[in-house]
Amino acid sequence: MIYAFKNYFKKRGSKMSKVHVMDHPLIVHKITKLRDKDTPVKEFRELVNEIALLMGYEATRDLKLVDKEVETPITKMIGKEIAKPIAVVPILRAGLGMVDAIMNIVPSAKVGHIGLYRDEVTHEPHEYYCKLPDRINERLVIVCDPMLATGGSAIQAVDFLKDKGCKNIKFMCIFASEVGIKLLYEKHPDVKIYAANYAPGPLNENGYIVPGLGDAGDRIYG
């Protein structure tokens, strides 16, 4: 399913941007279990991994391929391999819960880390750590964070990557608010957004998505 925010983007006079929202029945089912406040930590962590795995197939659907000659037990042939190296960059700490799923489908991907914490009063993100793979500017970078709420952390993470020369960036989250999507698009209209769930309503007074699931990092790590 693709949601297009027509009213917003038409006012800006730009080409309509699209956010990819997954509507696979398994994802919808697992998100309901994620929301449940009584879901224990172990199961919550497993659900995040399972949802990220299902999302990973969609987020990598448009990977470019190049020819590669291989020799089968019968004869030589021309197959295909991924053309561009990939990096997975979780936003610490909650984004770590999505990394293994992507690495399972793209084992050759390299992993970087961007550490951000949110000021509980201003809701603004602050950096405390950034370590990226070599040749990061040559890679397709998939940034992971379970929640795209205010958009501040996502924007700052993409800022870091673009400062390093990255030009091909995707953002993958489980929950995305309309506020977060709009702000991320305003700052980085070239970044594709993949979400498992879209929340059109306003954030609450603490900057959390409603109904959401609370603090993803706390629920992943107990």
Reported as type and span, the H/E element at residue 166 is none
pLDDT for 121 beyond 80:
no
Catalytic residues: 118, 122, 215, 218
pTM comes to 0.85
pLDDT for 45 beyond 90:
yes
Pairing of strands 169-177, 192-199: parallel
Q: Which of 202, 185, 194, 190 is nearest to 145 (CA)?
A: 194
Could you read off the pLDDT of 166-220 as tens digits, one per residue? 999 999 999 999 889 989 988 999 999 999 998 888 888 888 888 888 888 888 8
pLDDT for 14 beyond 60:
no
pLDDT for 36 = 92
Q: Give the pair of three-digit tokens for residue 126.
A: 């602050």
